Amino acid sequence: MKKEPWIKVSDIVFFACALVTMLLARHFIFTPIEVIGASMNPTLQDSERLFGLKVGEIKRLDVVSFAAPDVEDKDYIKRVIGLPGEEVLYEDDQLYIDGEKIDEPYLAENKKALPEGSLLTNDFVYTVPKGTYFVMGDNRQNSKDSRMLGAIDEEEIFANAKVVFWPINKMGTVD
């Protein structure tokens, strides 16, 4: 009786194809993201890990990752507030885009923790230049974002965060 080899050529081909597919997907479709710092609390916590899509349209309230414009070899993760060409207005802790009131339910926990009469987000107005996005952290009082950095160039945004995969007890979609 002829002895079967420990591993078959078809197995090698299968695993090679699977590896190539994973590498191509990692390069062109998704990328891992690590949250560093408290600027997205409570939505995202320090050291959480996510998968972000490299493809697709960026919409208001998406959570995106981009190259930090002020620190070399560092990335930030923030929420998209203003789209290209829009006027972003904060007045009395309320967001308005081009005059339309926008709800931000992800800020409720942070607003509840404030002393009565305090604002989470100070008043300002900003017109987003074409080809850029206005981004802010959910932890508004502890976030370096477009209020300090200016709008973020579309080319600098490399991922649209979609899924938390670590820690396991937080696994799920990004709200």
Q: Please tell me which residue in 39, 65, 143, 146 is annotated as part of the active site.
A: 39
3 a catalytic residue: no
Q: Amino acid identity of 45?
A: Q
Q: Can you list the pairs that 70-73 forms with residues at least 24 positions away whose Cβ atoms lie under 8 Å?
A: 70/144, 70/149
Q: Please tell me which residue in 2, 10, 78, 111 is annotated as part of the active site.
A: 78
Say if residues 159 and 167 touch (Cβ distance below 8 Å). no
78 a catalytic residue: yes
Say if residues 147 and 123 touch (Cβ distance below 8 Å). no
Residue 15, strand partner residues: none
Tokens 């995106």 sit at which residue? 64
Active site residues: 39, 78
